[in-house]
Structure 1
């Protein structure tokens, strides 16, 4: 029996498509410039390798069997993939990266990110995009380890890695909020650390594999740790705990009365955010990364990435 990969070639798949389209072996042979016996032999080779019958030869027309129909469907998809790969290879040769991975912190607006993704795809690039979620130092770590090409939403507490380039994204104000029915909603302000220590904090886990950056957790305090900002917001809406959250993300909940802002004795948190690219093994930016970096040069885009959390 022949190796299946040796018979399921693009040429053979095209041959099967021709038989199905013309309705007979003889017509397909004429279309392909083959003698009928040569075409029949190639079909038998495919059938032998797969151990199935692909065409019902009892009728005057060559009708695909159920197995034949499945191979025709999958064959059509494989031929389209081959064409797409060839097209991508040609276009990658013009300076486009095969794939661009974005490491995006949980405080960044998904609405604005998707608007940028939509604008990027409107160019018709050959580059595949991958969006990877990051939290705290994990956002930059993905870039430093070569798992991402562009990190958006890097905090100032993350040490720079040699070879990385960085540019400011903007300032992000974190406010302390609780649900209206939470005990801390009724206590006198400012809330001291000793008072806060007696109540559970909701924290987002650092996505970094190396190291663990935590923010605002007091020694001995009960902590409920979640994986992302959205889960943290919903946990605080339920009154499961308290904590700091980016003001733009919780603004709609505060305005609707679902969360209450409380003053605390500790200093306010106004965090500098940046975006980073490059790294020790990075080459010159390709056309896809250049496009993203050009978008991030817009002040309006940078502001929207931090503040546009109202319509998602």
Structure 2
């Protein structure tokens, strides 16, 4: 039994959603695909797929196995590609998790330039805004701005990420008084689901927290940005959305003396994979792309006084 071939077949069935589709992509008969999966199920003593006349779906065991198989096959590909990288350039698969809005606005250009530089690397980009442990979920790299760290995962810093409390002039014109974060409980709020409804600020007197009851709770920042622009309420937005809106006056930085806690954008890599050349090259490319500052700040026209009260370093 060729275990690696059978594992690749399992992965292809899971990705394509069927034995026939997997066979077409692999260039083999459906019966060959079935035989390979049967061999895996026999050797593992576990059913990997639920098969009906119309659908093929992963069992719980198959789902739990999926990400481990991806990492195992990636490691096998690394061993083989290491022999040819020096002569033919970097090659092999690279599976990356990226945040949705940031990728659409800025990171997609970085990905495009990296792909052009390394055309033999096969990129799989997954957009999601929740925290992801790359070692558990089968990613080579996970990008995000959450403070979460994981065992056996190495963090690579890219840049700080400031956040701002934002509202439109239209909303503020008829809104209740707002002098302190506690006043937000009397306002319509728009909340980013992954960070929760307990909003934390840093003021001159120290940290302040307030629990809001949002009218919109979304897991994607651009939706909150759009609702804030429409005058639907107050949102905490990352600087790559807030700063352009401050420049054109469509949003206002409110409660400047109480800054939402800053985050940091970082790339996380399973510790066992930090020396894989295509991964280290991608990390280096990301870091260079964020120097000397991230792309949304390079044409900055706002002064620090427009964004915050006092010296920005006090934040």
> With structure 2 as the length reference, what TM-score do the two structures score?
0.56
Is structure 2 residue 204 aligned with structure 1 residue 216? no
Which residue pairs with 2:73 in the alignment?
Answer: none
- Return the alpha-carbon distance in structure 1 between the equivalents of residues 117 and 92 of structure 2: 15
- The structure 2 residue matched to 1:168, chosen from 157, 165, 186, is 157
Which residue pairs with 2:107 in the alignment?
Answer: 113
Q: State the Cα deviation string for residues 221-277 of structure 1 (Å, max 9, x = none).
A: 234112311111101111122121122322222222211111166444222332211
- The structure 1 residue matched to 2:279, chosen from 289, 294, 298, is 289
Higher relative contact order, chain-length normalized (CA < 8 Å, sep 6+): 1
1:1-312 correspondence runs (5 A): 94=84, 98-106=92-100, 108=102, 110-135=104-129, 138-139=130-131, 141-156=132-147, 158=148, 160-183=149-172, 191-206=179-194, 213=196, 216=199, 218-219=210-211, 221-263=213-255, 266-279=258-271, 282-283=272-273, 285-298=275-288, 300-301=290-291, 303-304=293-294, 307=297
Q: State the Cα deviation string for residues 58-115 of structure 1 (Å, max 9, x = none).
A: xxxxxxxxxxxxxxxxxxxxxxxxxxxxxxx986863556421222234635444223
* Unmatched runs of 5 consecutive residues or more in structure 1: 11-88, 207-211
For the structure 1 residues 187 and 213, does the alpha-carbon distance in structure 2 shift closer, same or farther, using more than 3 Å as the test? closer
- Return the alpha-carbon distance in structure 2 between the equivalents of residues 161 and 214 of structure 1: 24
Higher radius of gyration, 1 or 2: 1
> How many aligned positions are there?
216
Q: Root-mean-square deviation (CA), in Å?
A: 3.8
Measured after TM superposition, the shift of residue 302 of structure 1 is 7.1
Do the aligned partners of 1:295 and 1:301 also contact (CA within 8 Å) in 2?
no
Do the aligned partners of 1:175 and 1:268 also contact (CA within 8 Å) in 2?
yes
Q: State the Cα deviation string for residues 159-195 of structure 1 (Å, max 9, x = none).
A: x211111122222211111011114776655x32332
Which residue pairs with 2:16 in the alignment?
Answer: none
Which residue pairs with 1:73 in the alignment?
Answer: none
- Return the alpha-carbon distance in structure 1 between the equivalents of residues 115 and 281 of structure 2: 11
- Return the alpha-carbon distance in structure 2 between the equivalents of residues 111 and 220 of structure 1: 28
For the structure 1 residues 254 and 216, does the alpha-carbon distance in structure 2 shift closer, same or farther, using more than 3 Å as the test? same
Do the aligned partners of 1:248 and 1:308 also contact (CA within 8 Å) in 2?
no
